[in-house]
Amino acid sequence: MIVSYPISDTSLAVTTTINAASSGGYSSWASTNGVIGDASADSNHDGVPNGIAYFMGQTGLATLPVLDATSKIAWPMSATYSGTYQVQTSSDLSTWTAVSPQPTRGLDGNLSYTLPSGLGKQFVRLLVTPN
């Protein structure tokens, strides 16, 4: 699933992926919070896939982050998130490239990434694979 929000000449795209063999962290979170479905579903119909809500530590309706005036996006990242994640960028929504280095959870509890300037239209997405 890709959710795209246009913001001037940049956009945000959020994608979730699931690991069919995974168990534990996501399952426990889903059970505790009454979440139905896998990480790609949106059980409460708030527009945020379950896997992203789990990554952000949400327990109810979640809101997706947006780019700020400096082209920075900050996803809240749960301290108890169990799984992998990858921030990727694209200029055409077809070919995605992992950013390097990958951002890590900051002291503010966010996973933050700033789109480079001068590259024209760019998109960013967060892939999550919960355990």
**Closest listed residue to residue 128, CA positions, set 57, 31, 67:** 57
CA distances from 71 to 12, 64, 74, 82, 117 (A): 10, 15, 10, 28, 8
Give the pTM: 0.70
For position 1, what pLDDT does the model report?
41
For position 7, what pLDDT does the model report?
47
- Answer whether 125's CB lies under 8 Å from 4's CB: no
Per-10-residue mean pLDDT for the chain, 131 residues long?
47 45 74 91 89 89 85 94 96 96 95 94 94 91
